[in-house]
Homo-oligomer: A and B are copies of this chain.
Amino acid sequence: MEYRIILIGCGTVGQGLLEILERKADYLRDRFDFEPRVVAITDKLKGSVLCRQGLNLKSLLTILEEGKKLNDYPGAKEKIPGFIDPLELIERVEAEIMAELTYTDIKTGEPATSYIKKALRTGKHVVTSNKGPAALHFHELQELARVNQRQFRIEGTVMSGTPVFHLFENGLAGNEIKEIKGILNGTTNFILSKMELDNLEYDEALKLAQELGYAEADPTADVEGLDAVAKVVILANALMGGRIKPEEVKRQGISHLRRSDILEARKAGFRYKLIARVRKEDTGLITSVAPEMIPLSDPLAGVMGAQNALTFDTDFLGKVTIQGAGAGKIETGFSILSDLLAIHRGEKN
């Protein structure tokens, strides 16, 4: 079955998705009868391209690798100006699915939220790895999707393509969830791992993370727990019926931790991890992001380096933990494919 897809944003995730769709075109058609056709892309930096029969992904990836604009795409295409505004593109181009892959603004959720609304209102399913809209406007967007009989899917917002929402919707369905807790930020987990295993102070481990590209020049969003807060809000609202706002999450970062704290905990049989947690209490949901000393017997204690993991505490299965990549071009690109395939299978979320 063919699906026409619009990409809004063509940075790392968008290019990861295009690579996957190009490499696996035959496999996806033969195995799942799934034939995606990317018909339009617009990106503030890279320009725009539009071809209603579907772009040749090989040519497209070649010009992107060469650092050229999307407008330089050599195949058949429509005549357009240098950059088409996403809202206009979404309005104008017929497609079954819009993949929203622009940057995360965790304060406003914009402009992504406006793009998502426009897409749902014009009858398109939406898949996104953008944490802003999912953290700030989940219920509104989900309701808009419902009214328009379309889907709003967000697998890539937590743990990149490692299945979190799929796991909840399928394998765990029928359980009631008492608590979700996890290691949802790879940068801080890398820093804590290095402090313990290589005996570094916080500043040294942070510097190493920056050199290796795990941490940004301004590491605040990671080390002060803001990134993990966005994810815990998404989990609380999307999976546990919450109406939590990011500022309501109890938050503490890791920058105050010293090597001596970590080694002392280790001697006592514990390990410091930045734990994101949402727990159902009689009074409502309790959410937090904070360094916690967890026993070495906890599955989360063994999660080292930039890996992520999440434990669902369920009524029938007890604790179920999933561990995998938390970031990455191909890993997050795959999150988009996995949502496209869920739409293709006709699953409802």
Contact = CB atoms under 8 A, between A and B. Distances in A.
Nearest to A19: B316
A338 interface: yes
Interface string A317-333: 11111111100001101
A219 interface: no
A180 B342 CA distance: 23
Contacts of A323: 299, 320-323
A161 interface: yes
Interface string A17-61: 000100010011000100000000000000000000000000000
Nearest to A305: B297
Nearest to A342: B170
A147 interface: no
B317 A161 contact: yes
Interface stretch (A171-179, A243-251, A284-292): A171-179
Nearest to A171: B163
Given A320-B324, A325-B317, A173 B301 contact: no
Interface in A45-80: none
Copy number in the complex reads: 2
A170 B331 CA distance: 16
Q: Chain A: interface secondary structure?
A: mixed
Contacts of A200: none
Contacts of A299: 302-303, 323
Contacts of A163: 167, 170-172, 320
A258 interface: no
A321 B324 contact: yes
A175 B28 CA distance: 10
A340 to B, nearest CB: 9
Interface string A93-114: 0000000000000000000000
23 contacts: A20-B316, A27-B176, A163-B170, A163-B171, A163-B172, A166-B170, A170-B171, A171-B171, A172-B338, A173-B341, A175-B334, A296-B302, A299-B303, A299-B323, A316-B330, A316-B333, A317-B324, A317-B334, A320-B322, A320-B324, A321-B323, A321-B324, A347-B347
